[in-house]
Structure formats: C-alpha cells, structure tokens
Amino acid sequence: MSARRTSIHGEWSSRFAFILAATGSAVGLGNIWRFPYVTGESGGGAFVLVYLLCVALIGIPVMMAEILLGRRGRQSPLNTMRTLAQEEGRSPAWQYVGWLGMAAGFMILSFYSVVAGWTLAYVVRTATGVFEGATAEGVQSIFTDFIANPEGLLAWHTIFMVMTIIVVSRGVKSGLEQAVRFLMPALFVLLIAMVGYAMNTGQFQQAVEYLFKPDFSRLDAEVVLNAMGQAFFSLSLGMGAIMIYGSYLSHTASITRTAVVVAGMDTLVAILAGLAIFPLVFEYGLEPAGGPGLIFMTLPIAFGQMPGGALFGALFFLLLVFAAWTSAISLLEPAVTWLVENRGMNRVKAAAWSGLAAWVFGILSLLSLNLWSDDRYKLFGMPFIDLVDWLTANVMLPIGGLLIAIFAAWMMSREASRAELGLADGLGFGLWRFLVRYVTPFAILLIFLNKIGVL
C-alpha cells in the first residue's frame, strides 16, 4: 500500500475552497441554459422527476467515487486511473477511462465556449439597452439574427476561450478560488430576484405545474436518457473534472458531505432557473421546446420591460459568463495536467495547446448554426453542435461514470475505498457501497439498454 501521495499541481487552501471550485464547475450553462431547454424539449414534470432521481441515485454516488479516486491518485485522471489500477492489481486498460474523459472534456468545451460566447454578447446587448421595450418577436429575431452571423460568434467564442486559457494557465489557487467565492453567491441572489420577477407575471402557477406535475405519458426512453445525461453534464461527472479537483483536496475533508453540498447547490440553481424562465415562456406564448435559444429569447423580454432592466440584465448575463467560466476551466484541467505530467510541458503551454485544439473544434459547432445549417450538413439528423452535445452528455459521460463507479466499487478493495472516504464501517459507508455497486451501474445500463430498444 502506498504512502499518501501529494499532487505536483497544488492543493486547495481548504475544504470550503474545494466546495466552491467544485460548485463552480458544476454550476454553469448546464443549469441555466441547458436545464430549462432540455426540460422543455422533454415535456416538463416527468423529466424533472427522473432528473432528481438521477442526481440522487447516480449523481451523488458517482461524485463521491470520482472525488475518492482523484484524492487517492493525486494525478491527472489518466495517470490516476493507471496508478490505482496497478495498485489494486487490475488491468492497465483502466487508464482508457482517462482518455475517454479527456476526449469528452475537449468536445464539451468546444461547444460550451461557443454558447458562453453568446452570454458574453448578451452582456453587451442588455447593457446597451437593445432590448428596451422590445416585443417577444423582436427579442426572438435579435437572437436568430445573432446566430446567423458566423464572424460575430467567432469573435465571442475566441474571447471566451482565451479567458479560459488564461485562468487555467495560472494554476489552482491564484484567481480561481477568489473569483468563485464572490461570484457564486452573487449569481444566486440575482437568480432569486429573477424568480421574484417571474412570480408576478401571472403565469407562475402554470410554470410550477409544468415543472413539478409529472405527466407520465411524456415519459419514454429518450426522456429518461436526457435526464441522466443532464445529471452527468450538470454535475460535471464522468470525465475527470471532479476527479482532478478531488486530487487537490486535503485528505482530512469529508467527501460525503462535500458531494451532497455540491449536488444540492447545483440542483437548486437549475430549479431556480426553471422557475425564472418558464413563467416568461408561458406569459409570452413561446414554445417550451424552443431549443438552445430558450433563455436568450425569454429573459431579455423581462429585462426589456422591468425598470433598471438594462443594468440588471447585464449583471445577470455577466454572472452567467462567470458561471460558464468556472465550468470551462474544469473541462480543460484534466488534459492540461496530463500534458504537464507526461509531456513535460509547463502549465501555460499545456493550457494554450489544449485550449487551441478545443477552439478549432468549436468552429465546426459554430458553423453548424449558420453556414452549415442546412440538411446536407446534418449527421444523424442533427446539426453538428447538437450532435456533439448529445454524444458527450448522453453517451460519453454516462459511460465514463459507469466505469468510474465500477472501478471504485468492484476493483478497489473495500478497505481502500472506506479509508479514502474517511467513513466508519457503518450505515453510511454501507449505503454508498450498495448504491455504487448495484444501483448506479445497473441504472445507467438499464437506461442505455432501454434507449437502444433492447428492453
């Protein structure tokens, strides 16, 4: 058995700093942009219910497994998996979990940066009063015109990627920890204010019913898969982001409590976003299944009509930029640490190269919104950006999570995982182990099999 390792990349200054960083990774576009529109496309309440079940039964156990593997390995996800597999006498093939994760992170970041670019653009638009007094149709056409222009999108995509590279190249502690400490609470407050506004639209009740009254006739294999994919995406699981953050966590911190807090905050933010957005959707007769443009076509209507809306709206989108930023850095971090460990690069160079690669790949997504938007360019009937999103969230992250759960539950010795979790051999540990051994892997498998029609 090895002595306790330390990470060459650094360590968080406290457990609280880890919670902030992990929450920063989890809370992002996934909560405020993706959750509402996927909910809309999946028909509302039944999706939300399955989503909550996925967070509890799959998300939290996998998050604990990821933090525990990360903290034990203390290296890039790839090298962590390789080291732990060796230590436990398992096949070196386990390191491919690390490869899969890096590929997923890179693919997610590519389109994530494009969408984060939209939020940057919307800071400027709301601040300059573009939406003042605009009708719902006006707001919609502003968005469709915006998406139709590749040069503009490219500029914003570039700015966001450069921002991400800069923070990652500065390392774990400086900058990041400080930023999240202040920005996350601010986002929270603004979101609550938006819910307050939405409560007065008259359609709040309808939105609450839409979100929380499950219509089980809407439940099919696709909806369940979407809910699981959304849980993985939103909690940043299955690709090594939480694993690498766990590798900077001090060995004294409680993994269980940490995971529950992070998952709880993430879920709360998603639900608040839904409560802020759907009343506006119904009030203005918009389509809940309106797709990726949903928040960009609803929220600006409110900002255009409320007093002080330009300032408030700009602030809201600005905080969304920050939320996306703190997520994007965690998408890049696994690849960067791997380049530092295995290719002898320094952090700055590693961040620049991996960020550049994701930027180039992102251009394909960007063009699929405009120049390449017609049917000739669709793969499996989807524009490229939707395909990358679907493939990563609904396939790659769940497979990554499945393998992580299997490794932590079946490949590691009971004693090693218990020691790393820091739990006594009691009910709590027994429950986690039961979930991660049986419930989580089978739930993921069943959802896949159901989707491909085997069940």
* Residues at the site binding ligand PHE, with contacts judged by CB under 6 A: 25-26, 28-31, 108, 233-234, 236, 239, 241, 327, 330-331
Nearer to ligand PHE, 75 or 119 (CB): 119
Tokens of 58: 């799959």
- Distance between CA atoms of 144 and 301, rounded to whole angstroms? 15
The rounded distance, in Å, linking the Cα atoms of 285 and 321 is 27
Closer residue to ligand PHE, CB minimum distance, 202 or 264: 264
DSSP summary character for residue 382: B
Closest separation in Å from C-beta 237 to ligand PHE: 7
Strand partners of residue 382? 379
Please say which residue, 28 or 98, places its beta carbon nearer to ligand PHE: 28
In the complex, the smallest distance separating the C-beta of residue 344 from ligand PHE, rounded to whole angstroms, is 26
Angle at 398 between CA 377 and CA 351, to 5 degrees: 70
Token representation of residue 447: 């959802």
Identify which of residues 266 and 283 has a Cβ nearer to ligand PHE in the complex.
266
Choose between 239 and 315: whose C-beta lies nearer to ligand PHE: 239
Cβ-closest residue to ligand PHE? 30
Could you tell me the two tokens for 301? 């209507």
Phi, psi of 435, rounded to the nearest 5 degrees: -60, -50
CB contact at 8 A, 224 and 447: yes
Question: Which residue in the block uniquely carries the two structure tokens 């707001």?
Answer: 139
CB of 4 vs ligand PHE, minimal distance in Å: 27
Q: Residues 6 or more apart from 376 whose CB is under 8 A from it?
A: none
Q: Could you tell me the smallest distance in angstroms from the CB atom of residue 28 to ligand PHE? A: 2
Question: In angstroms, rounded to a whole number, what is the distance separating the alpha carbons of residues 147 and 192?
Answer: 29
Quick check: 177 and 13 in contact, CB under 8 A?
yes
- Residue 392 vs 417, nearer CB to ligand PHE: 392
Among residues 413, 442, 411, which one has the least CA distance to residue 97? 411
DSSP 374: S
**Closest approach of Cβ 203 to ligand PHE, in Å?**
26
- Closest CB 369 distance from ligand PHE, rounded Å: 19
* Beta carbons of 323 and 191 less than 8 angstroms apart: no
Least CB distance to ligand PHE at residue 320 (A): 10
Nearer to ligand PHE, 44 or 105 (CB): 105
Q: In terms of CB distance, is 83 or 236 closer to ligand PHE?
A: 236
Q: How far is the CB of 443 from ligand PHE (least distance, A)?
A: 19
Least CB distance from residue 270 to ligand PHE, whole Å?
8
Nearer to ligand PHE, 187 or 331 (CB): 331
- The least distance separating ligand PHE from the CB of residue 414, rounded to whole angstroms, comes to 29
d(C-alpha 278, C-alpha 263), whole Å: 23
Q: Which is nearer to ligand PHE, 80 or 330 (CB)?
A: 330
Report which of 73, 71, 64, 63 is spatially closest to residue 95, judged by C-alpha positions.
Answer: 73
Phi, psi of 382 (to 5 degrees): -120, 145
Q: In whole angstroms, give the CA distance from residue 26 to residue 328.
A: 10
